[in-house]
Structure 1
Amino acid sequence: MRQGIPRTVDRRARRLVAALTAGAAALAMALLPMPQAQAENNGVGQTPALGWSSWSYVRSAPTAAVIDAQADAMKSSGLAAIGYQYVNIDDFYYQCPGSQGPGVDQYGRWATDTTKFPPSGSTDGIAVVANHVHADGLKFGIYVTPGISKQAVAQNTPIQGTSYHADDIATTSSENNYNCGGMVGIDYSKPGAQAFINSWANEFASWGVDYVKIDGVGTGDVGDVQAWSAALQQTGRPIHLELSNNLAIGSAGTWAQYSNGWRTGGDVECYCGSNGSSYPLTDWGNIQQRYAQVAAWQPYGGPGAFNDYDSIEVGNGSNDGLTAPERQSQLSLWAMAASPLILGTDLTHLDATDLGYLKNTAVLAVDQDAVDASRIVSNGNQQVFSKTESDGSVIIGLFNYSGSSSQTVSVNLAAAGITGSPTATDLWTGSSIGTISGTYSVNLGPGAVQLLRTPPGTSTATEYVSTASGRCLDDPNSNTTPGTLQEIWDCHHGPNQEWTYSGGTLRTLGLCLDAFNQGTTSGTKIDLYSCNGQSNQQWTLNSNGTITGVQSGLCLDVTGGGASANGTGVELWTCNGGSNQKWTKA
């Protein structure tokens, strides 16, 4: 959500929820890499979430009737049958009498707006909607922001199941609540603080909530994220936890440890409609912002915890604010990035062409493989991303970044780990484009994309895993600047971790593993450099798992002996048989 947008315009980005059908699920699971050790471990989110969220189109006017209709349309359109699963209510479902904060119940938790979501007997109005969503065979999501309402503090409401009260845990610092305001911080060192969040999570679980989005999360809200992660898990109900928005990349490891996904940037909506209209939902400029985000965040997403690039604004034709090629590009970029695909459009008025895009199961499978693509070409309007799936299939997305002119986009296939002359399929048309080899080029119209898949086993590349750490030899951020120092990082099947061994060289992204400045002494750093045939780029793969430099006779070594943290460099060192000098092929 954006700050500074007038309340009448409403300002945040929301996402949709969904999941795979049996057939699509089987395909996605077959492509899954192993979960990262540091990812949230709550039993959900092993593939990117698919679904719908109320923010982009509904914004400030969610009601039970509106949400029920969207859920019904998810089912009747056939989207549910191919895996779109979550139906999420965003902001404006709770009472908001003014700047004193959201209205609260007897235990200080947000109180449902009964005008928008009327109860049925003793059943809360939100639970009534959740029951309807579940009856459609779908899952239900809801929205919160960090902290506790000032109204709870003013009333000093008791914390359910404890002798503590709101005033015992509240701070005086303000917390983000973009549309209602009036939230203050929680001191999680105080008794009763975790119990308060537990009680809120228990209420959500009792309503049938399957997905919780915490909006307004900043680096100062790690305590809230930890508390909600623990609270949702203690309910015993599998509940997906998503964080929003524009989170700090420097804390990516924390977001991955405690949540299933996190917004990497601001809202995708353009907020450019006349007279407060939701339409157009977005524009090409807002999609363009995501190319750099996808490249920067690539190392951090994976099964259980994914980078989230905000709502998919495809479904309502010209009201999306994108041309047809731009809509395919948005879906393709998000799919290459293994991002949640949460629709922001009006599902009750779906455009037939857009519905065809959303139901392209070949493109959905690219998203559901749970592998983040690396950017291997960034040359003005030429943008190319690629990834290698666990069966050796290679996916290449060639994008024309320009929204106004055609562009020929080219890629050296070796940079994607492709050698030889494999056949390739265009995933948007379903047609074979024949064999590809060497350098591949395609002319693309403004904002257009070509999304290609090569057959299983295409890539002859492999990952080299350090025995000491279980992490992979990695070219940081897919940097193809000669001289880039190499490191170890969590294995993620990205092209920047896929190495081919040919003629004694180890190559990735079209460059060679290199002993820096032809160094031959222990401690010489290892970089990536233009292949030149020199002996400092020659390596021997030994049967004991070591890799020795031909020129130096020294072993490829993880710096610091037993060091194993992400980002630890690699170097040459006297061979000593240590596990930090042994590598296995993944």
Structure 2
Amino acid sequence: MSRLRHLLTGALGLALASAGLLSAPAQHAAASDNGFSIRPAMGWSSWSSVRRWPTEDKIKAQADAMVASGLNNNGFVYINLDDFYQKCDANGFVVDSYGRWTVDSGKFPSGIKALADYVHSKGLKFGFYVTPGIAKNAVDKNTPIEGTSYHAKDIADTSKTEKNYNCKNMYYIDYSKPGSQEFINSWARQYASWGVDYLKIDGVGAADIPDVQAWDKALRATGRPINYALSNNLPIANATTWKELANSWRTQGDVECYCGPGANGSGYPLTDWSHVSARFNTAASWQPYAGPGGWNDLDSLEIGNGDQVGLTADQRRSHFTLWAMAASPLLLGTDLTAMNSTDKAMLTNDRLIAVDQDGVAAKRIVNSGVNQVFSKKEANGDYVVALFNTGTSGSSTVSVNWSQVGFSGSADVTDLWSGVSTGTFATSYSATLRPGETRLIRAHPVSGSTTVRYEAEDAAYSAGSTVDTNHTGYSGTGFVNTANASGAYVEWTVDSATARDAPITIQYSNGTTTGRPMDVSVNGTVVSADRAFNGTGSWDTWANSTLTVPLNAGSNTVRVTATTANGAPDLDYLDRG
């Protein structure tokens, strides 16, 4: 069974495949090639509702409830044990003979392997937790590193302590020292032998890139398929690094509000609307980095226990809709043993799950006060559009033109929350939404919708090129500013239902008085050599260059390549007729 089929089994996988939603879009940054998380992970995590008091019985009960509720049949398969399973003393983590954390036997008397075996017996997968560094107790005891002649003191940098939320007292590891990688390898082997299928490494920042690299290498070496997740609030400046090394990364701090009545803010409510709505901006800014093998993690999905989680039903639907549009992992934080029927209906809506699992992260195309619109194009040519009123009082009418979405003409519209076809809309769509409400639609372009837009920022481009927003009048989320060099290029992947000669229009800006000619090639063959892209008067003024090109049925590559040392003009989009 392929990894993708292994992930997307059952009715959900068949629905996605038949809808043509399983093909992967091109991405700018190289994704991790570990072969896992081809689609965002789905399951449950202990932190939101269990917090600092996990036990063996509690985790088993959640696994039982996952199966009893039937959520596993909708793709929710991970049962992830988060922090506070470890044993601590006055100096931090109690360690085993090789310097690795030990498990609190009072909370987990049967051990982690037995717990993982139980989760696996339910047809589910087991997730676990760690943070960077090496424990102070390991260094104080100078424990040996398994399988080597090295010891903890050989690899520890005791001048710096790592971020840790439980026992603290974690030193940095000096990865220039022999034995450092071997220490992480031994820890990863232990987790693999216990049956871990998902590993979250928490407290990660830019200074921890060596740890992220070491764990990536170690997990691969185990030979066990382990989904590798990073947390939390990772800097976007290092987004390409996270994408190269991991399968998901937390884009913001915790979604929990820590405003409950219990210790450390535990108990209900688990979150509030301000913690959810803060994700709209991060979903937009991180969008370019998501794709098969690596996902922007917006944190736990707080749906399952009704209004007591701190969100109204409208807000919970908006919560789910944003996560689905962002193609975020869907890891429930609620108590599955107390599943609310209203929320179960939300979570078992396969139309919503399909939006999350289509392998595409949506772009924000409207950002006007409380009015937000996100849009994405799926592999079958349909567009999924989410309209939101993010306010907390007062209804608002949210509108979007099909040209903003990326096509012209009319479209057949289906409401994805209800599954109801709402008719054909000529050039735009609007909805009057209550505060916190969303409208999620699928727009299927129909006869007369002859133009499909391919934004340059979503295309492939040569090294040294950047996606910029410092000029006005562009479409989408930016434009490509190529390197000033001969050979600089932008390459779009353009679909066609049939083999035909098709009109294409390239929107560009050239704020100089010198022409910036480019070769236009289709599927590797130049179809227009040294095509003129003359000055447009300013970098804020855009012009169109239209030509007819031969397209094959299916996917085609259309590349524009600068032929002089001045490079290419700024490139905004390609429209295909």
Indicate which of 192, 204, 211 corresponds to 1:224: 211
Indicate which of 236, 239, 245 corresponds to 1:252: 239
Indicate which of 362, 368, 376 corresponds to 2:365: 376
Indicate which of 34, 58, 62 corresponds to 2:54: 62
**1:5 corresponds to which residue?**
none
Contact 2:32 2:245 in 1 (8 A): yes
| 1:76-115 to 2 correspondences below 5 Å | 76-98=68-90, 100-115=91-106
Matched position secondary structure for 1:537: strand
Matched position secondary structure for 1:158: coil
Indicate which of 121, 130, 139 corresponds to 2:125: 139
Q: CA deviation at 1:343?
A: 0.3
The alignment yields a C-alpha RMSD, in angstroms, of 3.4
Matched position secondary structure for 2:375: strand
Matched to 2:10, the amino acid is A
Contact 1:482 1:528 in 2 (8 A): no
| 1:46-445 to 2 correspondences below 5 Å | 46-98=38-90, 100-119=91-110, 125-172=111-158, 173-276=160-263, 277-445=266-434
Q: CA deviation at 1:412?
A: 1.3
Contact 1:252 1:300 in 2 (8 A): yes
Q: CA deviation at 1:584?
A: 12
Matched position secondary structure for 2:44: strand
Matched to 1:537, the amino acid is N
Indicate which of 23, 33, 39 corresponds to 1:41: 33
Equivalent-residue separation in structure 2 for 1:559 and 1:391 (angstroms)? 38
Which deviations, in whole Å up to 9, do the C-alpha atoms of 1:135-175 show, x marking residues without a partner?
A: 00000000000000001000100000000000000001110
Matched to 1:440, the amino acid is Y
Equivalent-residue separation in structure 2 for 1:50 and 1:502 (angstroms)? 41
Shift in alpha-carbon separation, 1:86–1:335, aligned structure 2, 3 A: same
Shift in alpha-carbon separation, 1:158–1:300, aligned structure 2, 3 A: same
Matched to 2:545, the amino acid is Q
Shift in alpha-carbon separation, 1:451–1:96, aligned structure 2, 3 A: same
Contact 1:21 1:80 in 2 (8 A): no
Contact 1:106 1:157 in 2 (8 A): yes
Matched to 2:293, the amino acid is G
Q: TM-score, normalised by structure 2?
A: 0.83
Equivalent-residue separation in structure 2 for 1:357 and 1:345 (angstroms)? 14
Q: CA deviation at 1:417?
A: 1.3
Q: CA deviation at 1:438?
A: 1.6
Contact 2:305 2:343 in 1 (8 A): yes
Equivalent-residue separation in structure 2 for 1:297 and 1:88 (angstroms)? 25
Matched to 2:88, the amino acid is C
Shift in alpha-carbon separation, 1:55–1:469, aligned structure 2, 3 A: closer
Shift in alpha-carbon separation, 1:478–1:378, aligned structure 2, 3 A: farther
Equivalent-residue separation in structure 2 for 1:185 and 1:459 (angstroms)? 58
Is structure 2 residue 10 aligned with structure 1 residue 22? yes
Matched position secondary structure for 2:374: strand
Q: In terms of mean alpha carbon deviation, does 536-545 or 228-237 score higher?
A: 536-545
Contact 1:376 1:478 in 2 (8 A): no
Contact 2:503 2:549 in 1 (8 A): no
Matched to 2:328, the amino acid is S
Equivalent-residue separation in structure 2 for 1:503 and 1:493 (angstroms)? 15
Shift in alpha-carbon separation, 1:491–1:329, aligned structure 2, 3 A: farther
Shift in alpha-carbon separation, 1:518–1:491, aligned structure 2, 3 A: closer
Matched to 1:356, the amino acid is A
Matched position secondary structure for 1:67: helix
Q: CA deviation at 1:180?
A: 1.6
Matched to 1:324, the amino acid is A
Matched to 2:121, the amino acid is A
Q: CA deviation at 1:454?
A: 2.1
Shift in alpha-carbon separation, 1:560–1:175, aligned structure 2, 3 A: farther
Equivalent-residue separation in structure 2 for 1:97 and 1:156 (angstroms)? 17
Q: CA deviation at 1:528?
A: 8.6
Q: CA deviation at 1:451?
A: 0.3
Shift in alpha-carbon separation, 1:181–1:28, aligned structure 2, 3 A: farther
Unpaired runs of at least 5, structure 2: 1-5, 483-488, 495-500, 518-533
Equivalent-residue separation in structure 2 for 1:528 and 1:256 (angstroms)? 32
Shift in alpha-carbon separation, 1:423–1:542, aligned structure 2, 3 A: closer
Equivalent-residue separation in structure 2 for 1:52 and 1:396 (angstroms)? 27
Shift in alpha-carbon separation, 1:353–1:485, aligned structure 2, 3 A: closer
Matched position secondary structure for 1:443: strand
Shift in alpha-carbon separation, 1:160–1:490, aligned structure 2, 3 A: farther
**1:8 corresponds to which residue?**
none
Contact 2:502 2:548 in 1 (8 A): no
Shift in alpha-carbon separation, 1:464–1:429, aligned structure 2, 3 A: closer
**2:544 corresponds to which residue?**
537
Equivalent residue pairs, number = 524
Equivalent-residue separation in structure 2 for 1:91 and 1:404 (angstroms)? 37
Matched position secondary structure for 1:455: strand
Matched position secondary structure for 1:274: coil
**2:452 corresponds to which residue?**
461
Matched position secondary structure for 1:224: helix
Q: CA deviation at 1:486?
A: 2.4
Equivalent-residue separation in structure 2 for 1:157 and 1:431 (angstroms)? 63
Shift in alpha-carbon separation, 1:428–1:347, aligned structure 2, 3 A: same
Matched position secondary structure for 2:146: coil
Is structure 2 residue 513 aligned with structure 1 residue 516? no
Unpaired runs of at least 5, structure 1: 1-17, 120-124, 495-500, 507-512, 549-554, 562-568, 574-582
Equivalent-residue separation in structure 2 for 1:492 and 1:171 (angstroms)? 47
Shift in alpha-carbon separation, 1:110–1:169, aligned structure 2, 3 A: same
**2:531 corresponds to which residue?**
none
Contact 2:468 2:481 in 1 (8 A): no
Equivalent-residue separation in structure 2 for 1:311 and 1:61 (angstroms)? 18
Q: TM-score, normalised by structure 1?
A: 0.82
Equivalent-residue separation in structure 1 for 2:450 and 2:332 (angstroms)? 33
Q: In terms of mean alpha carbon deviation, does 194-203 or 410-419 score higher?
A: 410-419
Equivalent-residue separation in structure 1 for 2:430 and 2:250 (angstroms)? 33
Matched position secondary structure for 2:262: helix
Equivalent-residue separation in structure 2 for 1:71 and 1:248 (angstroms)? 33
Equivalent-residue separation in structure 1 for 2:469 and 2:231 (angstroms)? 26
